[in-house]
Amino acid sequence: MEDMADNKKKIGDLSVFPLSFGGNVFGWTANEAESFKVLDAFVEAGGNFIDTADVYSAWVPGNQGGESETILGNWFASRGNRSDIVLATKVGAGVPEPRGLTSSAIKSGIEESLQRLRTDYIDLYYTHYDDPSVPVEEIITTLDELVREGKVREIAASNVSAERLEAQLTFSAQENLARYVALQPHYNLVSRDTFEGELADVAARHGLATLPYYALASGFLTGKYRPGTTVDSPRSTGAAKYLETERGQKVLAALDDVAANHGTQPATVALAWLLAQPTVVAPIASASRVDQLPALLASVDLKLTQPELDLLTSASA
């Protein structure tokens, strides 16, 4: 894989590769040995941005949550490369009950994450799901404390309403406290209304970097899910539902057309479309095997023409 190390973008004071590797697969579809191989290959190709959460991968029978962070912590310790990586993790989710975003919940959450990740700081710390029961003042004040203590470099939000996001940004500005520099929404070619509109407007108005999750719609936008095919994957149910929609069919057809133009894969095109959208800095995508990485990495250098972007945007409307 070619070296793409110079192709960096800014998120606050962080310099990141324009593709974030999704750590939800660690401890789920990739065991520790497989995770190490994929992580090594990602870094070798110039990648430096890794996304995880304290709750990954609690949905796997027998797991408690924290498995992904533990694997990453072991990898950092084995490779001695923590300072080379921009590490994002999250707080607020939980199984079976959400942790929430009270001050005590955030403070206990960061300590547990730091221990599992075997590090003394998080580069980008997200509120994973908003907790409307907690005032925005309490959330921001607590996150600001973590920044001042050196435990967190930058803060960000995910799964939050435009109204609450605006309120938190306003409070940060009024009180001169740490402010969100990024937003992680559900956003892809078959799920645009989960971001576009009011939430996108807030991100643009405040200069937030957008880092879409489900960037490949649980694998649907890789093109491997087709009518009449069966895919052996834990994500197949989530991905296959898009086949039943007219939009899903139109998007696949458009992806095939554009991919053929460039001699590349549908996944590459789907990620490149996201990268061309306003405020998007680095889509989040994951791979359980090294051979899945090239199609993801190629998106960083794929420049779609305006007619190609228009075709994809129209198909996904």
> Which residues are the active-site residues?
56
Per DSSP, 221 falls in state G
Q: How many CB atoms lie within 10 A of CB 260?
A: 11
User: Residue 28: what residue type?
Assistant: W
Pairs from 241-249 (Cβ < 8 Å, separation ≥ 24): 242/190, 242/217, 245/190, 247/190, 247/315, 247/316, 247/317, 248/190, 248/220
Q: How many CB atoms lie within 10 A of CB 272?
A: 24
Give every CB contact of residue 223 below 8 A, 6+ residues apart in sequence.
252, 255, 256, 259, 265, 266, 267
What is the C-alpha to C-alpha distance for residues 252 and 250, in angstroms, rounded to an integer?
5
What is the C-alpha to C-alpha distance for residues 250 and 317, in angstroms, rounded to an integer?
10
CA-wise closest residue to 316 among 240, 250, 272: 250
Beta bridge partners of 20: 284
